[in-house]
Amino acid sequence: MRIISDAEKEFIIQSVAKDVRCDGRRQIEARDAEITCGVIAQAAGSSRVRIGGTDVIVGVKAEIGTPDVSTPGLGCLEFSVECSPVASAAFRGRGGDDISAELASAIEKLYCVGFGSKPDESPLDLSSLCILPGKSCWVLYVDALVLDLDGSVIDAISIGCKAALQDTKIPKVEVQQDGDEEDFEVDDDPEHATRLDVARVPLTVSVGLLGTAAVALDLTGAEEEAATAVICVSTNPEGHVCGVSKHRGQGIPPALMLDMISTATKEMASRHKAVNDFLMGELQ
Amino acid sequence: MEYVSPEGLRLDGRRDKELRRLNATIGVLQSADGSATFEMGNTKVMAAVFGPKEVEQRSLLDADKAIVRCEYSMAIFSTGERRRRGKSDRRATEISNVIKNTLEQTIMLELMPRTQIDVYVQVLQADGGTRCASINAAFLALADAGIPMRDIVCACSGGYLDNTVLLDMNYAEDSGGGPDVVVGLHPSLDRMVLLQCDNRISIETFQEVVDLVSEGCRAVAAFMREALVEHIRLMAASQQPRG
């Protein structure tokens, strides 16, 4: 997105190689994420996440719909990402559509929904969203809006979705049996609403290769531009790798790639703990 | 439905000539040259300004003045019902043009020939008066970007329900079927730069509503001026040498 000169690129690569990045961080130091829940009054759940200059708002709406034919006992999760023109002039009109689709697809993979996935393997218990098997279920629409970019957008969105889903209040539903007919009634009282258990949901972190050997975790916008290659690694709180995707121009030697993935996974443990602790705190 | 109770209270407890609670934050985004959020009650809008910069489409270049490009978009979660609309939403295009037209009259375009100024408005929460909040947010963002303007530009809306002239309507009142009047003002120059009215209204009532809404605009302008002064005071304080 941003344009940087060759001299700036060289400066960034050398600074990472010397373990003193432009914002003072060390190679494997991630930025702090600032999370606020409940920022959108009319959404069932919402959050705002800021990592450096990257700013994302996520809103969740819960509606009643029909379950997928292949999974009658599960509710539905639908993700969408929109890149607002306020983040960059390149996103005006349909300019942001490609990136938005890619980001939405990446998030869907974290939750095992979307094309080619198995929703019953989702880290979120989708069966808790079922109302009448095969007939009615909760459909959660998770909409992310990117307001500002400074690298690690997918990381911020992954935290935002997790926080917004934690913040979501699902109204209590009472199923009534009336002879052969089954019907349900939605309880409007927010005191009776239930919450989802998001503890197992994975998060992403970006790790980049700068130059030929320097590795940096959680890249800023300028670092992403200067990077030779970027890998987005998704890990869950148990420390398992849930997904890997490589971006940008050049290839990486396999040994180095495994190294980068394992570094990312190790460093993510502290972020997972911090996020889970924060979300637990929000519940009280 | 009763919009004004016999005691003179509206649906949200306000009096007929009362503005909703205003809130403004300036300089909220890193990437944009200027940015601001503006809230009027539950309506929350964020504006970003990019420019003045090189014109992207050479055919639009104007040798005498800057060109303004404007886009208004609503977040999917901004309304009560999830808003699944395409980008070529007619209402959004109309509002984009309204904002562009208002800003073109405000910015001193002739000072920046051969350039382009992009103003993007993102609605985060919609509860009536989004175009007004958009113009107000855009003004603050332009000020944050240091773009020269002829005057403050402020906008406010008003209407007429239950035989009462109302200032700054929320979504419920907007949908009440009465007239909806939007006024944009340059307060010091005392010039009206935007006027829109929907629905039937008598000329006498129209004059009353426009007068009231203009008063509302001036109150908004005073608030925005104060917000800008406060922002500059904070910036100056943070740049003071220590010790």
Query: What pLDDT does residue A155 have?
Result: 95
User: Three-state DSSP class for A111?
Assistant: coil
Q: Which of A14-28, A173-187, B28-42, B208-222 has the lowest mean pLDDT?
A: A173-187
Answer whether A282 touches B (CB < 8 Å): no
Spatial separation of the C-alpha atoms in residues A60 and A46, rounded to whole Å: 6
Spatial separation of the C-alpha atoms in residues A252 and A280, rounded to whole Å: 38
Answer whether A51 touches B (CB < 8 Å): no
Helix, strand, coil percent content, chain A, rounded in steps of 5:
30, 30, 35
Tens-level pLDDT at each residue, chain B (243 residues): 888 988 889 999 999 999 999 999 999 999 999 999 999 999 999 999 998 999 999 999 999 999 999 999 999 999 877 776 655 688 999 999 999 999 999 999 999 999 999 999 999 999 999 999 999 999 999 999 999 999 999 999 999 999 999 999 999 999 988 999 999 999 999 999 999 998 889 999 999 999 999 999 999 999 999 999 999 999 899 887 765
> Across the interface, which of B76, B77, B87 has its CB nearest the CB of A93?
B87
Residue B241: cis peptide before it, omega within 30 degrees of 0: no
- Report chain B residues whose CB lies below 8 A from the CB of A141: 76, 82
Query: What pLDDT does residue B1 have?
Result: 82
DSSP string, B32-62: SSEEEEEEETTEEEEEEEEEEEE-SSGGG--
Helix, strand, coil percent content, chain B, rounded in steps of 5:
30, 30, 35
Spatial separation of the C-alpha atoms in residues A249 and A228, rounded to whole Å: 6
Nearest to A28, CA basis, from A208, A192, A237, A189: A208
User: Three-state DSSP class for A255?
Assistant: helix
Spatial separation of the C-alpha atoms in residues A154 and A157, rounded to whole Å: 5
Chain B nearest-CA residue for A91: B120
Percent of chain A with pLDDT over 90: 70
CB contact under 8 Å between A84 and B120, yes or no, is yes
Query: What pLDDT does residue B146 have?
Result: 96
Q: Answer yes or no: is pLDDT of A177 > 80.
A: no
Spatial separation of the C-alpha atoms in residues B62 and B71, rounded to whole Å: 20
> Across the interface, which of A40, A86, A141 has its CB nearest the CB of B32?
A86
Token pair for B38: 């503006």
DSSP letter at A118 equals -
Q: A121: burial class by Cβ within 10 Å (0-12, 13-18, 19+)?
A: exposed
Spatial separation of the C-alpha atoms in residues A233 and A271, rounded to whole Å: 13
Q: B151: burial class by Cβ within 10 Å (0-12, 13-18, 19+)?
A: middle
Spatial separation of the C-alpha atoms in residues A164 and A49, rounded to whole Å: 10
Q: Which residues contact A201 (CB under 8 A, 6 or more apart)?
A: A110, A111, A123, A124, A161, A162, A165, A236
Chain A nearest-CA residue for B92: A93
Alpha-helical regions (H) of chain A: 6-17, 97-110, 153-167, 221-226, 254-283
Indicate the pLDDT class of residue A9, thresholds 50, 70 and 90: very high
> Parallel, antiparallel, or unpaired: how do β-strands A130-132 and A136-148 relate?
antiparallel
Tell me which amino acid residue A284 is: Q
Give the H/E segment covering residue B170.
none
Nearest to B184, CA basis, from B100, B82, B61: B100
- Report chain B residues whose CB lies below 8 A from the CB of A140: none
- Contact status, residue A160 vs residue A57, Cβ threshold 8 Å: yes
In angstroms, what separates the C-alpha of B51 from chain A's closest C-alpha? 10
Mean pLDDT across chain A: 91
Answer whether A92 touches B (CB < 8 Å): yes
Query: What pLDDT does residue B84 have?
Result: 63
- Report chain B residues whose CB lies below 8 A from the CB of A55: 29
Query: What pLDDT does residue A65 have?
Result: 92
Between chain A and chain B, the number of residue pairs with CB atoms below 8 A apart is: 87
Answer whether B57 touches A (CB < 8 Å): no
CB contact under 8 Å between B125 and A42, yes or no, is yes
> Which of the pair, B86 or A105, is modelled with greater confidence?
A105
Token pair for A210: 């700068």
- pTM metric for this prediction: 0.92
Measured N-to-C along each axis, helices A254-283 and A153-167 cross at an angle, to the nearest 10 degrees, of 30
- Contact status, residue B221 vs residue B191, Cβ threshold 8 Å: no
Indicate the pLDDT class of residue A175, thresholds 50, 70 and 90: confident
- Report chain A residues whose CB lies below 8 A from the CB of B76: 59, 80, 82, 141, 143, 145
Answer whether B17 touches A (CB < 8 Å): no
Nearest to A207, CA basis, from A162, A244, A169: A244
How large is the C-alpha radius of gyration of chain A? Answer: 20
